[in-house]
Amino acid sequence: MKKHEDISRRDAMKMAISLFGGLIGTTLGIPAVAYIIGPALKMDKANWIRVNSLSAIELETPTLFKPRVTRQNGWVAEEEEVGIFVLTEDGRDYHALSNICTHLGCHVHWIAEREQFLSPCHNGVFDKHRYVVSGPPPRPLDEFETKIEDGNLYIQLPAIKRAS
């Protein structure tokens, strides 16, 4: 039989301190890392926002509404106002259009006399149904998905896109 060497008191203390320190580091480290990188890994879900009552929407005329929404971006919650033009021609089908020009991001205005949306960004013009009539906008105004519940119109805002 071989005789095992005795461990010195100093070596035993080193091992105990190392094990205890590693246990504490692991116990605190894993939740800390999850806390720091967790928001970046979360996928923002699209959410439904109440625009207004259906009775407030005029027939055949785009009506501007500005619901306030709260967007969560990591640890920061920001409240913002979203401009939405709502159009219905029959009181059953509703179209919700962004009031942001697709050229430079200016706010478009409805000009009732011309039945067009006008953007002050280089005079972009859109028709009543969101399509580009003239000017530099590269594409139509953005349209949001809509739904009706309990006599109210809701739009679905897209999820926040994060940089890759």
The CA distances from residue 30 to 33, 37, 74, in Å, are 5, 11, 19
Total domains, the chain: 2
Nearest to 51 by CA among 130, 164, 161, 156: 156
pLDDT tops 80 at residue 3: no
CATH number at residue 57: 2.102.10.10
In a domain, residue 164? The reply is no
How far the first Cα of the chain sits from its last, in Å, is 63
Q: Which of 56-70, 91-105, 116-130, 146-160 has the lowest mean pLDDT?
A: 146-160
Counting residues of the chain whose pLDDT is more than 90, the rounded percentage is 33
Verify that 60 and 132 share a domain, yes or no: yes
Residue 46 confidence (pLDDT): 59
pLDDT tens, 123-163?
A: 899 999 899 999 899 999 999 999 999 999 999 877 544 33
Verify that 149 and 95 share a domain, yes or no: yes
* pLDDT bucket at 90, cuts 50 / 70 / 90: confident
29: containing domain = 1-41
Average pLDDT, the chain: 84
Cβ-based neighbours of 7, under 8 Å, separated by 6 or more: 15
pLDDT tens, 7-43?
A: 888 888 999 999 989 899 888 888 888 777 776 666 5
Verify that 77 and 131 share a domain, yes or no: yes
